[in-house]
Amino acid sequence: MTSEILAKTPLHALHLELGARMVPFAGYEMPVQYPLGVMKEHLHTREAAGLFDVSHMGQILLRGAGAAKALESLVPVDIIDLPVGQQRYAMFTDDNGGILDDLMVANLGDDTLFLVVNAACKHQDLMHLQQHIANQCQIESRFDRALLALQGPKAVDVLTRLAPEVAKMTFMQFQAVRLLGVDCYVSRSGYTGEDGFEISIPAAQAETLARSLLAEPEVEAIGLGARDSLRLEAGLCLYGHDMSEATTPIEASLLWAISKARRADGARPGGFPGAERIFAQQREGVSRKRVGLLPQERTPVREGAELVNADGESIGQVCSGGFGPSLGAPLALGYVQSSHMAVGSDVWAVVRGKRVAMKVSKTPFVEQRYYRG
198 is in an annotated binding site: yes
The answer for residues whose C-beta is within 8 angstroms of residue 110's C-beta and 6 or more apart is: none
For residue 319, how many C-alpha atoms fall within 13 Å in the half-sphere facing its CB?
A: 25
Residue 347, strand partner residues = 358
Assess contact for 125 and 101: CB atoms under 8 A. yes
- Mapped onto helix, strand or coil, the DSSP state of residue 41 is helix
Q: What is the C-alpha to C-alpha distance for residues 142 and 108, in angstroms, rounded to an integer?
A: 15
State pTM to two decimals.
Answer: 0.97
Q: CA dist 121 to 21, 64, 102, 117, 218, Å?
A: 24, 24, 9, 7, 33
Q: What is the C-alpha to C-alpha distance for residues 351 and 184, in angstroms, rounded to an integer?
A: 46
Q: What is the pLDDT of residue 4?
A: 75
| 223: DSSP letter | -
Q: Could you say which residues of the chain have pLDDT below 70?
A: 1-3
CB count, 10 Å around CB of 351? 17
- Mapped onto helix, strand or coil, the DSSP state of residue 345 is coil
Query: What sign for the dihedral angle of Cα 169, 58, 192, 9?
Result: negative
Q: What is the pLDDT of residue 243?
A: 98
Report the alpha-carbon angle 309-310-312, nearest 5.
Answer: 65
pLDDT tens digit sequence for 133-147:
999 999 999 999 999
Q: What is the pLDDT of residue 1?
A: 45
Residue 112, strand partner residues = 63, 109
Q: What is the pLDDT of residue 220?
A: 99
Reference 332, options 266, 210, 264, 237; nearest CA is 237
3-state SS string for 302-340: CCCCEEECCCCCEEEEEEEEEEECCCCEEEEEEEEEHHH
Q: What is the C-alpha to C-alpha distance for residues 21 and 127, in angstroms, rounded to an integer?
A: 33
Assess contact for 59 and 166: CB atoms under 8 A. no
CB count, 10 Å around CB of 239? 20
One-letter identity of residue 137: C
Report the alpha-carbon angle 259-260-266, nearest 5.
Answer: 125
- Omega within 30 of 0 (cis) for the link into 364: yes
- Mapped onto helix, strand or coil, the DSSP state of residue 47 is helix
CB count, 10 Å around CB of 140? 12
Q: Structural domains in the chain?
A: 1-285 (3.30.1360.120), 287-366 (2.40.30.110)
CA distance between the termini of the chain: 54
- Mapped onto helix, strand or coil, the DSSP state of residue 349 is strand
- Alpha helices (H) in 163-247, listed in sequence order: 203-214, 224-233
Rounded to the nearest angstrom, the gap between the alpha carbon of residue 232 and the centroid of all alpha carbons in its chain is 10
Q: What is the pLDDT of residue 3?
A: 63
